[in-house]
Structure 1
Amino acid sequence: MRRRINMGKYEALAKEIVQQIGGKENISSLTHCVTRLRFHLKDESRANDGNVKAIKGVVSLVKSSGQYQVVIGNHVPEVYEEVCKVANLSSQNTSVDHHGKQGVWATLINYISGIFGPCLAVLCASGMVKGFLSLFVFLGLMNEAQGMYQIINGIGDALFYFFPVLLGFSSASKFGMSPYLGAVIGAAFVYPDLQGVDLSVLGMTINVTYTSTVLPIIFTNILAAWLYKKFNKVIPDVVKTFLVPMLVMFIAVPIGFCVIGVAANWITQVITDLIMAVYGFSPLVAGLFLGTLWQILVIFGVHNGLVAIAIAGLMTTGSTPIFSTITATTLAQGAVVFAIWMKTKDKDLKAIALPAWISCIFGVSEPAIYGITLSRMKYFIISLIGAGLAGAWVGFTGVLTKVMGGLGIFALPSLLAQSTSDFINVCISILIAIVFSFTLTWIMYDENKPSKEVSKTSLKQKKLKA
Structure 2
Amino acid sequence: MNHRELAEQIIEKIGGVGNINQSWHCITRLRFNIRDKDAVKLKEIQDLEGVLGAQFQSGQLQIIIGSAVAKVYQEVQQLTEGKIVSTDNEGGKKGNIFDQLFDVISGVFTPILAAITGSGLLKGVMAILVVLGVLSDTSSTYIVLNAIADATFHFLPFLIAFSAANKFKTNPSLAVTLAGILMYPTFMANAAGGEITSLSFIGLTIPMNSYASTVLPIILGVLLLSYVEKYAKKIVPDSLTIIFVPLISLLVTAPITLAFIAPLGNLLGMYLEQFFTMLFTVAGPVAGALMGGLMPVIVVTGMHYAFFPGTFASFDKFGYDIMLLPLNLVANLAQAGSTLAVFFKTKDQKMKQVAFSAFIPALFGITEPAIYGVTMKLKKPFYASMIGGAVGGAIFGTFVVKAFSFTVPGILALPTYIETGTNNFLFAILGVLSSFVVAFIMTMLLKFDRGEVETKEIFESKTVITKELPSPILSPMTGVVKNLSDCPDTTFASGIVGKGIGIIPENNTVTAPFEGEVTMTTPTNHAIGLLSKTGVEILIHVGIDTVSLDGQGFERLVNVGDQVSVGTPLLTFDIEEIKKRNLPLFSPIVITNSPNFLDVIVSVKADERITSGQEEILIVVD
Regarding TM over 0.5, the answer is yes
Q: Tell me which of 82, 105, 114 is aligned to 1:121.
A: 114
Partners of 2:170 and 2:386 lie apart in 1 by 41
Query: What is the alpha-carbon distance in structure 2 between the residues aligned to residue 183 and residue 403 of structure 1?
Result: 24
Give the AA of the match of 2:262. G
Call closer, same or farther: CA 1:298–1:280 in 2, change over 3 Å. same
Mapped partners of 1:179, 1:297: distance in 2 = 31
Shift of 1:77: 2.2
Which structure 1 residue ranges, 4+ long, deviate > 6 Å from structure 2?
A: none
The change in CA–CA distance for 1:89 and 1:270 in structure 2 (over 3 A counts) is farther
Quote how far apart the aligned CAs of 1:419 are: 5.7
What residue identity is the alignment partner of 1:226?
A: Y
Match 2:425 to one of 409, 419, 423 = 423
- Are 2:207 and 1:206 equivalent residues in the alignment? yes
CA contact (8 A) 1:206 1:258 kept: yes
For structure 1, list consecutive stretches of 5 or more residues without a partner in the other structure.
1-7, 457-466
Aligned identity (percent) is: 30
SS at match of 1:403: coil
Q: Which residue pairs with 1:406 in the alignment?
A: 408
**1: CA distance, partners of 2:424 / 2:223:** 39
Partner of 2:165: 172
Q: Please identify, of 105-114 and 73-82, the stretch whose mean Cα deviation from structure 2 is larger.
A: 73-82
Kept in 2, the 8 Å contact 1:84–1:90? The answer is no
Q: Residue type of the partner of 1:433?
A: S
- Show CA shifts across 1:249-272 (max 9, x none): 222122211221111111211222
Cα deviation, residue 120, structure 1? 2.1
Aligned 8 A contact 1:403 1:417 in 2: no
Letter in 2 for 1:409: I
* Cα distance between partner residues in 2 of 1:409 and 1:371: 21
- Report what 2:263 is aligned to: 262
Amino acid at match of 1:158: A
Cα distance in 1 for residues equivalent to 2:254 and 2:74:
32
Q: 1:126 to 1:113 in 2, by over 3 A?
A: same
Q: Which amino acid aligns with 2:328?
A: I
Distance 2:213 2:235 in 1: 36
Find 2:440's aligned residue among 433, 438, 441: 438
Q: Note the 1:322-361 alignment, pairs <5 A.
A: 322=323, 323-361=325-363
Contact 1:372 1:454 in 2 (8 A): no
Q: Which of 6, 12, 21 is equivalent to 2:5?
A: 12
1:271-300, Cα deviation, whole Å (9 max, x unpaired): 221222222211111101110111001112
RMSD: 2.4
The offset of 1:99, in angstroms, is: 6.7
1:374 counterpart letter in structure 2: M
Verify the 8 A CA contact 2:328 2:409 in the aligned structure 1.
no
Who is 1:272 aligned against?
273
CA contact (8 A) 2:55 2:61 kept: yes
- Which residue matches 2:310? 309
Counterparts of 1:360 and 1:230, CA distance in 2: 47
SS of alignment partner, residue 98 of structure 1: coil
Partner of 1:462 in structure 2?
none
User: Structure 2: how far apart are the matches of 1:411 and 1:90?
Assistant: 39
Indicate yes or no: 2:147 matched with 1:154.
Answer: yes
Greater fraction helix: 1
Cα separation, partners in 2 of 1:235 and 1:205, compared to 1, 3 Å: closer
The residue aligned with 1:299 is 300
User: 2:347·2:451 contact (CA, 8 Å) conserved in 1?
Assistant: no
Displacement of 1:399: 1.6
3-state DSSP class of the match of 2:377?
coil
Which stretch of structure 1 is more off in the superposition, 307-316 or 179-188? 307-316
Q: Which has the larger radius of gyration?
A: 2
For residue 212 of structure 2, what is the amino acid of its counterpart? T
Q: CA deviation at 1:317?
A: 3.9
Give, in angstroms, the shift of residue 11 of structure 1.
Answer: 2.2
* Bigger relative contact order, structure 1 or 2 (CA pairs below 8 A, ≥6 apart): 1
With over 3 angstroms needed to count, the CA separation of the structure-2 counterparts of 1:158 and 1:377, relative to structure 1, is same
Count of residues in correspondence between the two structures: 448
CA offsets 1:89-121 (integer angstroms, 9 cap, x no match): 589x97854274222111111111101111222
Cα distance in 2 for partners of 1:175, 1:60 equals 27
Question: Offset at 1:159?
Answer: 0.8
Residue identity opposite 2:295 in structure 1: W
CA distances 1:280-325 after superposition (whole Å, capped 9, x unpaired) = 2111111011101110011122221123332233224433311222
Q: Cα 1:75–1:391, aligned 2, differ >3 Å: closer, same or farther?
A: same
TM-score (normalizing by structure 2): 0.68
- Give deviations 1:207-235, integer Å, cap 9, x for gaps: 21111111111111111111111122332
Go from structure 1 to structure 2 and tell me whether the alpha carbon gap of 1:196 and 1:418 turns closer, same or farther (over 3 Å shift): farther
Q: Which moved more, 1:400-409 or 1:121-130?
A: 400-409
